[in-house]
Chains A and B, each alone.
Chain A
Amino acid sequence: MKFSLYRYQPDSGQQPAMQEVELAIDPAGKMLLDALIELKAHDDTLAFRRSCREGVCGSDAVNVNGRNVLACITPLSGLKEPIEIRPLPGLPIIRDFVVDMEPFFRQYKSIKPWLVNEDPEPERERLQLPEERAELEGAYECILCGCCTTSCPSFWWHPDKFVGPAGLLQAWRFIADSRDQATEERLDYLEDTYRLYRCRGIMNCVESCPKGLNPTEAIGRIKSLLVKRKV
């Protein structure tokens, strides 16, 4: 199979360039990550992140033929050749497919991704009704791979100011949580022309999410709350 790989080795002093590689691999039943591991076996200077190899850890997100995917759950047979692999767009590149996720996690951190509850801690756990728990469906499953946020042009333009789809989905996850008591503060933080309202609803995030989540819908729900609070 033919591959076109984005290569960047900062210590070599050379500019980034695409490298054409051919690999003898039978795509049947294999994922893209299998090919990457095979490629690395031939050239161990190739750098990429991976861990769980089953779409749970979210560390092997790459841009393949123009789409952000998790290499470990992308069937090799479904990809058009030459398979062009690049690092996630919009983040600083450390080496080959390894990007600096710091801007992504800085935005994630900004929405305070933890439960805020001032009540005294109960003996066992803070209970939820089944319907309260159901509110979190589609919001808690995010694995923070960065596929959505790095496919969002608003994040490319404003990585320092726009929270991005992943962060906003998580903001909704805590706003929607019946045990969280900081809804007002969370909405105050998001009520901003950059942090939330840079979202123009183009839904790249929905298309790229490997877990099938819908950040645009979550953003819409936050907007509804903001409107409800305002009018």
Chain B
Amino acid sequence: MKKTIAGTHSGTGWWLAQRISALILLLAGAGLLLGFWSAYPFDYSQWHSAFQQTFVRLLVWLVVASLCLHAWIGLRDVLMDYVKPVAIRLLLNVLVTLTLVLCVMWATAILWGGNGQANI
């Protein structure tokens, strides 16, 4: 069969997600950078106590998650444009998805994992 297959009736959701994650990255990322900048130079204990605050952890997590979501949509677009064989595209898509999901899970483990809690 040699028909053009299109018409998923989706796209608006992903487009919105990309825009919103970009906005979060810009605002939360800039907020974090400014916060670190204003506190600079800081030693280990300051760094440590900053990450004891829930809102710092949430903000960092939000930035990591937004970055991964943004990257997922962007890489999916790149793969759609350049990788035509469906099987290879699916494989690469799965690899990208797994990597990014693991990144978010890893960030979660770093932020809320045992090491951070040790001194409470």
Let me know if B14 is at the binding interface, CB within 8 A: yes
Chain B residues in 8 Å Cβ range of A191: 9-12
B81 to chain A, nearest CB (A): 5
Asked if B9 contacts A160 (CB within 8 A), the reply is no
Q: Which of B8, B11, B81 contacts A157 (CB 8 A)?
A: B81
Our count of residue pairs bridging A and B at CB distance below 8 angstroms stands at 48
Let me know if A154 is at the binding interface, CB within 8 A: yes
Asked if A195 contacts B6 (CB within 8 A), the reply is yes
Asked if B12 contacts A226 (CB within 8 A), the reply is yes
Known: A154-B81, A157-B81, A227-B16. A197 touches B4 (CB 8 A): no
B12 to chain A, nearest CB (A): 4
Name the interface size band of chain B: 10 to 19
Distance, CA A157 to CA B12, complexed state (A): 21
Closest to B16 in A: A227
Chain A residues in 8 Å Cβ range of B12: 191, 197, 223, 226-227, 229-230
Q: How many residues of A contact B (CB 8 A)?
A: 22
Distance, CA A226 to CA B12, complexed state (A): 7
Asked if B81 contacts A192 (CB within 8 A), the reply is no
Chain B residues in 8 Å Cβ range of A200: 77
Chain B residues in 8 Å Cβ range of A198: 80-81
Q: Which among A160, A193, A196 has the highest number of chain B CB atoms within 10 Å?
A: A193
Q: Is the interface of A mostly helix, strand, loop or mixed?
A: loop
Asked if A196 contacts B81 (CB within 8 A), the reply is no
Let me know if A109 is at the binding interface, CB within 8 A: no
A229 to chain B, nearest CB (A): 8
A133 to chain B, nearest CB (A): 29
Asked if B81 contacts A197 (CB within 8 A), the reply is no
The residues in A between 137 and 192 inclusive whose CB is less than 8 angstroms from any CB of B are 154, 157-158, 160-161, 188-189, 191-192
Let me know if A194 is at the binding interface, CB within 8 A: yes
A residues with a Cβ closer than 8 A to B are 154, 157-158, 160-161, 188-189, 191-198, 200, 223, 226-227, 229-231
